[in-house]
Structure formats: C-alpha cells, structure tokens
Amino acid sequence: MGRYVVRRLLQMIPVFIGATFLIFVMVYALGDPVAALFGDRAPDPATARQLRAEFNLDKPVWQQYLLYMGNIFTGDFGTAFNGEPVTDLMGRAFPISFRLMLTALVIELVLGILLGVITGLRRGRAFDTSILMATLVVIAIPTFVLGTTAQFLFGVQLGWINPAVSPEGRFSELLLPGIILALVSLAYVTRLTRTSVAENTRADYIRTAVAKGLPRRRVTVRHLLRNSLIPVVTYLGADIGTLMAGAIVTERIFNIQGVGFQLYQGILRQNSPTVVGFVVVLVLIFLLANLLVDLLYAVLDPRIRYV
Amino acid sequence: MRAATRLSWAIAATTVLALTATSCGGGNGTAGGSAGVVRASWGDPQHPLEPANTNEVQGGKVLDMIFRGLKRYNPETGEAEDEMAESIETTDQQNFTVKIKPGWTFSDGTPVTASSYVDAWNYGAHLENAQIASYFFQFIEGYEDVHPSDENATPSADTMSGLAVVDDHTFTVRLTEPFSLWPETLGYAAYAPLPRAFFDDHDAWLAKPIGNGPYKIDTYTKSQSMKLVKYEDYAGPDKAQNEGVELRVYTDNNTAYTDLQAGNLDVIDDVPASQLSNAEKDLGDRFINQPAGIIQTVSFPLYDPAWSSPEAAKVRQGLSMAIDREEITSKIYFDTRTPATDFTSPVLGDAGGYEEGLCGEFCTFDPERARQLIEEGGGLPGGKVTLSSNVDTGSHRQWMDAACNSINNVLDNTAACTVNPVPTFADFRNQVTNRQMTGMFRTGWQMDYPLIQNFLQPLYYTDASSNDAVYSSPEFDRLVNEANSASDEEEAVAKFRDAERVLVQDMPAIPLWYQNGTAAYSTRVSDVKLNPFSVPVYTDIKVS
C-alpha cells in the first residue's frame, strides 16, 4: 500500500505542471489586464509600462510561466492587483471554503446515505416515492433561488440567522449555506445509494447473511451498506473539489469570501497569479481527494488490494 | 476485523481533520453594532489605498473619510470650498501661492505642513511609483521630467520643478500653462497630504493608512472589513457626528440589501438593480435616488474611415435620435438614470456649466428625423452598425439590446444594429484603447471633480487621456484653451459651453443618460445623504 501511495503521489507531478501551465496560458490568452486597472480612462502609457514590468507582464508567456513557477517553489505565489500577496488571499479563502465544504459534505453524507438506505429498502412505498420526488425538485430548482429564498425566510422574516456570514465564518453560521450547497449533491447521493442498495439486496451474500440468522441491523449495515457505498464514495470524492471551487453561487448569496469568489474576481481582473495560485491548490486537493477515495475502496471492499 | 480497524482509523482521521478546521474558525463575531457606530457596506478596493493610486469609488470612500485636502466639495452643492487651504492666490492663473491653515495634525500626531503636500504630490506624480491617478499632476511644471509621456523614457528628475516649499505653511505651484479652474480641482483625493510615516515605512502605512481626516483607521482586515473611529483631534469644521464607521465588504450588493432589511447593516450605497422596483416600497424615505456625476455615452471610432467622413456626423446624430432614452431609463433602470440632454451632468448645477437641453433635438427621440438624417449622411457604413460593451457588470447587456432594438425599429431593419458583448471589462478596455473598434462602443465617465472642464477636456480634447473616440476639432480645442485661461469662472463656463456646442454638431459620442446614485439606510441612523460623487457623507450620519 505504501508503494502504491508513493506512485500515486509521483504521478501528481506531471498533472500539477500540466494543469498550471494550461491555466496560465488560458488566463494569459484573455489579454492584457493593465488597461482595466485604469477604469474607463485610457491608460497612461508610461504608468502602464511600469505596471507591466512590476507584474512581469512585459515578458513572453513562457518566461512569465517559468518566473512564476520558480517563485512558487520559494512559497511566493505572486501578488494580486490590490497589492496583496496571493498567499494571504489563500490563507483567508481556503479555511472558510474548507469549513463550508465540510459542513456540506457531512450533511450530504449523513442525510444522503440514511435516506438512500431507507428508500432503497422500501422501494415503491410512499416514503420512497416522496423522497424521489423531493430529490427531483431539488435538482430542478437552481441553487440561487433556493439560497435567496431561504436567506430571506430565515434571515429577514424569521430573524433566526444573519443573512450574511461574518468573516470568521463559524460552523453555526455556515449551517444554512452548507445545507443549500449540499442540497443538489444530497439528492444525487440519495439516488446513488438507493439504486446501489436496491441492487445489492438481491445479492447472494445478503441472502446468505439472512440465512445465517444474522440480526437485520447487522445485515444492513455490515453487509448491505458497505458493499453499496463504492459508487457513493467515488461520487463524494469528486464532489469535494466541486464543493470547494464551485460554491461560488452559495458564497455570493451569503457573502462568504471563499475560493469561488476569489477565483471569479481573479478571472474578471485577469490576474494570473490569483487564478493560477488558487487552481494549483484546488488541483492538489482534487488529486488528494481522489487518492483518498481509491484507498477507501480497499477499506470498504477487502477484495481490493493495492501493492 | 482488520477491515473494521481500518474503517475506524479512517473515521478517526476525518474527525481530527474536522476538529483542526473547527479550531481555525474561532474568534468572536460582532453581530450587533456597537453604540454610535455606523455599519456600512463596502467593496474590496481594487488598488492599494494610496491617494494617488485610487480611481474607483470603494477606495475613494475610505480616502474621503481619512483625508482632507486643500479644498473639499460641498456635499450638497458640489462647490469647491476651502478646507485646509487658508488661501490660494494667483495673479496670472499660472503661478499659485498656497497657504494652509495651522493646527492640523495627522492621526499619528505629526503636524500637516506644506511639505506634507509637496512630498505627496511628488510621490503621486513620479513614474516609478506607478500611481494610477498620476495624471492629476500633469498641469504642474516639471511633470514631464518625473513622468515622461513617452513609453520608453525614464524620469530625469525626482521632484517637479513647479513645486516649492516657502515655509511650514506656504508653498508655491507653477503650472505649465494658465488654468483658471485649477484650484477647484484640489478637492480630489489624489491631492491629499501624506505624513512622514508614508515614506518611512510604506508597507506599515498600507496595512493601516494614516491621514488627517475626521476618522482614523482602528483596524483593517483586507477584503473583509475596516473599522474607523472618530479622530478626536481633527481640526476641520466637519467633525464626525457619530462614534465611528464600520465598513463591511460585501461581494454581492444583493446580500447587503438583505442584511439591511434584516437590521444587520445601516447604510448601503448601491441598491442592486434587481431590488430597485421594490426599494421604494420596502424602505420609503430611507431610499435615496439622486443624480451622480456620471454620464453614460456611446462613442464612435473616428479613426475608422467609415466614421470619419464629414457626412458621417449626420449619421451619428441620426443614431442619437433613434434611441428612445425615456423608455430605456424607465423600463430597465426604474428611473435611476435620467435621459441626457447635454455632455455634462446635473450635479454641476446651472452655474457650474450644466445646461438642460443644450444638445437640443439631436438628443430627443424622433424616428422620422432620425431616418432622414441617416439617409442624408449616406446611411450606416456597410448598412449596419454594432454596439459593443463589456457585459460582466452593470446590466449593460439589457440597455444595449434595448438601444439596438430602438434603432432597428426606427430604420425598420432588424439587422441594422447588433450587439457585440465583450465578456470582461479588461478585454473591452483593451480593444478600445488599442483602437480596434469598428462600430459604436460604450463609454462612461465618472467625474473627478465637479467642473465642466472635467466632462469635456479629458474626453474630447485632441489626444486627451480618455479621448476614446480619437476626436479632434481645432474649434473645440481653441474654445477649451480660451476657457482655461479665462480670468473668472463665469467666463470660463460660458466658453466651455460653446465648446460643448461644437460637440453637438460633430457628435463624436452620443450622450445617453446621467446615472443616479442610490443608497438606502436603516431606521437606526438618520441624516444620510450622498455627495456629488454618490458616496455617503459619513461624518453627518447620526446614530440613534
């Protein structure tokens, strides 16, 4: 298993270099960001040149990339246009996005699997049908509709929460944004678990377990659920990245200055250090989450072994 | 059994991870406001908070609270009034002697002297400091030496020769040419004085700027919040009527609006477009909607041969008459824009140079006459025209569609005008400054100071800094020069108006509408108003 992990980690290096280069070139292709700094006013050529030199924008793209990569290894991720080091931006954005992701992940994990198992065991009954309907509704309604409605209801009408999350972003504040963010994935997790459970109830080893006279609870949790979780875990692994980077809609509604927001801002202002810096970390998180998922397979299914 | 251990190990690891994350989230948030403090919405400033490096409203908001310059624009009338200036004297409109009032201090206790101004202006002008708003100093003699206009030249001096300190409270300024209204421009934030601390420890200053204004910065967490408290030793007349201001960054002004409704925020200064239709119903008197010093125009690429022929002026005038401004401002903007009838802004007032209806019939919707003019001018170049703008902000897409529809209806041709949306502002500005436009394009102008000069010279003077249309008219230039060397304000304004009439005939840009500033406030505060730059006058706000 150790060797497997090392091999996987080594594979990340080319993926890392490739991803950063692609993103760098893409942001570069958007054009010259300096003009926008001057607002609706035509840039003063001499000042513009000075700014280009400051951000290395006057060099050819390959040289910019090499300079940038060279700095990354010394821990310098460059500077955003407001003069702040990108590492500072990351230091603020990632913890809060991580907490939001964690809240959402726990919600969809616990609720999704619970609902999935219950509906999977009671296929075709009233409860199953109503949950299926509910998941369809959740998937169909855009997040921002649900988010703003919930925000208005709980924040303004009932006054239970503050509509905007404070910069500290405590877990209690992140509960509602977490639920909103989790809803769509929750629906998918429920459906995935349901199908998987429904299929496995007919499997031989379940019949055997029941025939052995094992308690119902043990059959469900140890035999049925564990074997049904593999597709769900695969989905969740990929979802970690989506929840962190793709939370921009939820983040905007609740005024959370997370990863999604900083990326959006970076793209609008065409600031490659910001965009590339954030994407680099996201790529790493994605790769690590996938590695974790692969390792979890072995935990869930003893037949899978890594050497 | 082995599997079970591995499973519990995985769970343990996840728990540890979760706990680590929780511990990062410590700290106490302040949900309710502390007594006497105004809680206001804010946006993340785009540039470091240096006076000469700020050209947008969010950074300007802070500078307006922590700095006071020689002049200040009266929040109600927009007139430039002496603030720190004791007197600004000149006999030839070119050499000025500035005397400043004694007794003013920066919030670190050091006195504001003549060199605080001279050093700050030299810093702002110098090329190596790459200050966005350095062009403000271009009128001062020696600017060309510290900030050569040629792209590849390097500065040949450290300071501008036109500035000289006489004593602690006096300095002299020599301009490159006569500019009668120059003292009136001094209310702009770029002309603020700077303390020694700014030059001695620049990074520390940027982390927590120090100024001479009615507020001082207590804490500043970049891109999250800034807490300002009343500066007790402030020497100016406009002392803060509240204990302080807490600025909170909102990434989306819809959230700020919701927070205001929930009672968590006191002042927002930009009501989101989507809420405009219900803001008056929701808030009643607590919704402010008043003219701001912003005009939206559509410019033509006069560098393109298709648009530069003498007859093309008629086509441009015709297009202007084909746009139904009333309809667009009421249906899309819920009357937060006012149809433009000149090239300036109502905030200038009649004495300042605004003249309602100066543009005359050419800014009035008249389908019949519009068609006629376009035909007389030889029709649209190639039979069609595009309208370009960035579409990432400000509901530009909606009004562009409406304007094009209006033109198409007038010409009875659905393909006459098409919208060319550009995804990002940066990309759009690049195309404009690189002169790549082939059809109409959006140009907006937010005034730097409430003077008619600022609405005309930077935009339409030959080779001016923001002359995106690349318009050049000897007649217009001559009138502007005459206005600048006029000895009194009334004469200057009259000359500028004459210059404006030249624009109406040539129509290098179509005036669309004046933009209003909007704001809303909670029941906890009173006396909220917007200044001509549509920034709330924080010092006047009272907290109950």
- Alpha-carbon distance of B353 to B348, in angstroms, equals 6
CB contact under 8 A, B250 and A164: yes
Does A77 or B217 have the greater pLDDT score? Answer: B217
Alpha carbon B486 to its chain centroid, in Å, reads 27
CB contact under 8 A, B18 and A268: no
Per-position pLDDT tens, chain B of length 544: 444 444 455 444 444 444 444 444 333 334 445 788 999 999 888 888 999 988 888 898 999 999 999 999 998 888 889 999 999 999 888 999 999 999 999 999 999 999 999 999 999 999 888 888 888 898 999 999 998 888 778 888 899 999 999 999 999 999 998 888 889 889 989 999 999 999 999 999 999 999 999 999 999 988 789 999 999 999 999 999 999 999 999 888 888 999 998 888 999 988 887 788 888 888 888 999 888 889 999 999 999 988 988 888 999 999 999 999 999 999 888 888 999 999 999 988 888 889 999 998 999 999 999 999 999 988 888 888 999 998 877 678 889 999 999 999 999 988 899 999 988 887 888 888 888 899 999 998 888 888 899 999 989 999 887 888 999 999 999 999 999 888 888 888 999 999 999 999 999 999 999 998 899 999 999 999 998 888 999 999 999 8
Q: Would an 8 Å CB–CB cutoff place A30 in contact with chain B?
A: yes
Is the CB of residue A152 less than 8 Å from the CB of residue A83?
A: no
On the question of pLDDT at A31 being above 80, the answer is: no
Residue percentage of chain A with pLDDT more than 70: 99
Token look-up 């002299």 returns B172
Q: How far apart are the first and last CA of chain B?
A: 67
Interfacial A residues in 190-219 facing B (CB < 8 Å): none
The pTM of this model reads 0.81
Which sequence spans correspond to the domains of chain A? 2-72, 88-300
pLDDT number for residue B296 = 93
pLDDT number for residue B25 = 36
Of A41, A45, A89, the CB nearest to B466: A41
Which chain B residues touch A85 with a CB distance below 8 Å?
none
**CATH architecture entry for A88-300:** Orthogonal Bundle (1.10)
Does A167 or B202 have the greater pLDDT score? Answer: B202
pLDDT number for residue B45 = 85
pLDDT number for residue B118 = 95
Which chain A residues touch B427 with a CB distance below 8 Å?
30-31, 270
Of B131, B151, B426, the CB nearest to A45: B151
Is the CB of residue B85 less than 8 Å from the CB of residue B186?
A: yes
Residues of chain B with CATH 3.10.105.10: 291-517
CB contact under 8 A, B468 and A42: yes
- Alpha-carbon distance of B429 to B423, in angstroms, equals 11
On the question of pLDDT at A247 being above 80, the answer is: yes
What residues are paired with B296 via a beta bridge? B444, B513
pLDDT number for residue B273 = 78
Which of B58, B223, B296, B454 has the most A C-beta neighbours within 10 Å, making it the best mutation to test the interface with A?
A: B223
Interfacial A residues in 245-264 facing B (CB < 8 Å): 251-257, 261
- Find the closest chain A residue to B135 by CA distance: A44
DSSP B377-410: TTSSGGG-EEEEEE-SSTTHHHHHHHHHHHHHHH
Determine the Cα angle at B133 with ends B128 and B137, to 5°.
Answer: 80
CB contact under 8 A, B465 and A44: yes
Answer positive or negative: Cα dihedral of B132, B138, B140, B141. Answer: positive
Determine the Cα angle at B533 with ends B528 and B537, to 5°.
Answer: 25
pLDDT number for residue B2 = 47
pLDDT tier, A53 (very low <50, low <70, confident <90, very high otherwise): confident
Alpha carbon B428 to its chain centroid, in Å, reads 18
Is the CB of residue A119 less than 8 Å from the CB of residue A127?
A: yes
Q: What ipTM, to 2 d.p.?
A: 0.80
Which chain A residues touch B255 with a CB distance below 8 Å?
151, 163-164, 252-255
Per CATH, domain B291-517 is 3.20.20.370:
no
Report the relative pairing of strands B85-90 and B385-390 from DSSP bridges.
unpaired
Mean pLDDT for chain A?
A: 85
Nearest C-alpha neighbor of A272 from the set A56, A13, A53:
A56
pLDDT number for residue B33 = 57
pLDDT in tens, A92-146: 888 988 899 999 999 999 999 999 999 998 888 899 999 999 999 988 988 889 8
* CATH code of the domain made up of B10-246: 3.40.190.10
A149's enclosing H/E stretch is: helix A143-151
Of B45, B206, B466, the CB nearest to A42: B466
Of B223, B262, B467, the CB nearest to A257: B223
Report the relative pairing of strands B80-82 and B95-100 from DSSP bridges.
unpaired
pLDDT number for residue B30 = 41
Alpha carbon B340 to its chain centroid, in Å, reads 18
Which chain A residues touch B250 with a CB distance below 8 Å?
164, 255
pLDDT number for residue A239 = 87
pLDDT number for residue B369 = 92
CB contact under 8 A, B10 and A173: no
What residues are paired with B175 via a beta bridge? B140
